[in-house]
């Protein structure tokens, strides 16, 4: 057995109690615990980056989602990337970089078979948790497999400055669609048009959002990529083209609510012969390689920009999660587990 473990202490972030409304710092407990050691078939991984995702709020609510609920006392699950520092399985060697559900903690023991080896430099790990990870792949599969996007379609994307939405809009534009983003505030909308290259962007705080959408998409919306639900979904339903497809990806505006509000105008689906399809990206694993290959090609041609919003240190987990609900982020929200002075200076900044 080879190991490069230099400490016996693991920092863990456990759910302390179920949040009510916007998550608070005290909803999690952060502690130092002994590092577990791997059994045969397992590896010990040092976590370097942790993905922070809106769905985490639903996992801790106690409600049934597409995965088992997280209970008080559990280590917070999370997709993460790290380095193998002890291996008891021939498939992975010390020094290998991997991604998988490592949880919000500094060290994780996992079976080698549930981890994916990343053959890229360590600097590329954030990208593998973002645009080449679940966020980018969700955007790709949502548009092509669920939304059946065609060149020339008018696509509307909510959460347009976020990880999934920014990728969806840029992929669609490169594919030949006309793309209208929806984001929070004038400044974010400028970013969506000027930096991400969308054709237009509307502010979801505008009380006249439905009229603004009607002006921006006078022939109606062919495909709506819904990341936020709520009032924005209602405004989109009011502006569908005949035969429209709605990609039900998520409902960020509802995750902090006790009871999710559905759209009162859902009969627009009938009137416009439209469909609304929910999907969970993990059901489409057979499409991941193709999605990654096409996302990599877009990145290398400079047609896809993937900004990162990185907070430093595991203790920042509750803040990073709130960033998603206050709209503080542009692009993918990550936690970097280690900190240094240069990192502290850019804490929470977009890069």
Q: In the complex, what is the shortest distance from the CB of residue 321 to ligand NAP, in angstroms, rounded to a whole number?
A: 10
Q: In the complex, what is the shortest distance from the CB of residue 159 to ligand NAP, in angstroms, rounded to a whole number?
A: 4
Side-chain half-sphere exposure of 214, counting CA atoms within 13 A: 9
> Which is nearer to ligand NAP, 266 or 282 (by Cβ)?
282
Two tokens at 63? 């409600």
> Which is nearer to ligand NAP, 58 or 98 (by Cβ)?
58
Query: Which has the closest alpha carbon to 166: 197, 145, 141, 144?
Result: 197
Give the DSSP H/E element, type plus range, for residue 111.
strand 107-111
Q: In the complex, what is the shortest distance from the CB of residue 50 to ligand NAP, in angstroms, rounded to a whole number?
A: 13
> Which is nearer to ligand NAP, 92 or 137 (by Cβ)?
137
Q: In the complex, what is the shortest distance from the CB of residue 20 to ligand NAP, in angstroms, rounded to a whole number?
A: 17
List Cα–Cα distances, 185 to 85, 135, 192, 212, in angstroms.
44, 22, 11, 14
Please report, as ranges, the residues that interact with ligand NAP according to CB under 6 A: 53-55, 134-135, 138, 159, 161-165, 183-184, 188, 204, 227-228, 230, 232, 249-253, 279-281, 324-325, 327, 329
> Which is nearer to ligand NAP, 25 or 203 (by Cβ)?
203
> Which is nearer to ligand NAP, 83 or 311 (by Cβ)?
311
Kind of pairing between the strands at 28-34 and 9-15: antiparallel
Q: Rounded distance, CA 313 to CA 298, Å? A: 31
Q: In the complex, what is the shortest distance from the CB of residue 320 to ligand NAP, in angstroms, rounded to a whole number?
A: 11
Q: In the complex, what is the shortest distance from the CB of residue 333 to ligand NAP, in angstroms, rounded to a whole number?
A: 6
Q: Rounded distance, CA 60 to CA 57, Å? A: 6
List Cα–Cα distances, 276 to 234, 248, 270, in angstroms.
13, 6, 11
Query: Which has the closest alpha carbon to 335: 98, 105, 18, 91?
Result: 105
> Which is nearer to ligand NAP, 92 or 132 (by Cβ)?
132
Q: In the complex, what is the shortest distance from the CB of residue 274 to ligand NAP, in angstroms, rounded to a whole number?
A: 19
> Which is nearer to ligand NAP, 105 or 138 (by Cβ)?
138
Q: Residues 278, 245: contact at Cβ < 8 Å?
A: no
List % helix, strand, coil for the chain (3-state, nearest 5).
Answer: 30, 30, 40
């Amino acid at each position: 057995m080879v190991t490069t473990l230099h400490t016996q202490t693991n920092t863990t972030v456990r759910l302390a109690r179920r949040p009510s409304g916007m998550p608070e710092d005290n909803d999690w407990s952060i502690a130092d615990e002994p590092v577990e050691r791997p059994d045969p078939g397992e590896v010990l991984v040092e976590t370097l980056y942790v993905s922070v995702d809106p769905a985490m709020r639903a996992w801790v609510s106690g409600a049934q989602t597409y995965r088992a609920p997280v209970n008080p006392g559990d280590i917070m699950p999370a997709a993460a990337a790290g380095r193998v520092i002890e291996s008891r399985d021939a498939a992975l060697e010390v020094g290998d970089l991997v991604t998988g559900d490592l949880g919000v903690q500094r060290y994780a023991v996992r079976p080698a078979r549930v981890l994916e080896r990343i053959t890229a430099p360590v600097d590329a790990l954030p990208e593998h948790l973002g645009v080449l990870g679940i966020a980018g792949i969700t955007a790709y599969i949502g548009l092509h497999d669920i939304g059946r996007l065609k060149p020339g379609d008018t696509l509307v994307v909510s959460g347009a400055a976020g990880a999934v939405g920014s990728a969806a809009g840029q992929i669609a534009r490169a594919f030949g669609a006309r793309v209208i983003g929806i984001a929070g505030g004038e400044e974010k909308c400028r970013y969506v048009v000027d930096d991400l290259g969308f054709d237009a962007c509307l502010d979801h705080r505008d009380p006249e959002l439905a009229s603004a959408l009607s002006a921006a998409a006078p022939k109606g919306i062919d495909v709506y990529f819904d990341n936020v639900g709520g009032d924005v979904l209602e405004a989109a339903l009011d502006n569908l083209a005949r035969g429209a497809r709605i990609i039900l990806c998520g409902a960020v505006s509802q995750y902090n609510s006790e009871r999710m509000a559905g759209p009162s105008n859902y009969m627009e689906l009938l009137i416009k012969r439209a469909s609304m399809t929910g999907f969970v990206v993990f059901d489409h694993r057979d499409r991941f390689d193709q999605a990654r290959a096409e996302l990599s090609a877009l990145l290398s041609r400079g047609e896809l920009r993937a900004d990162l919003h990185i907070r430093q240190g595991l203790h920042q987990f509750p803040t990073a999660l709130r960033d998603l609900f206050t709209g503080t982020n542009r692009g993918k929200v990550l936690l970097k587990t280690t900190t240094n002075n240069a990192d502290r200076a850019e804490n929470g900044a977009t890069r």
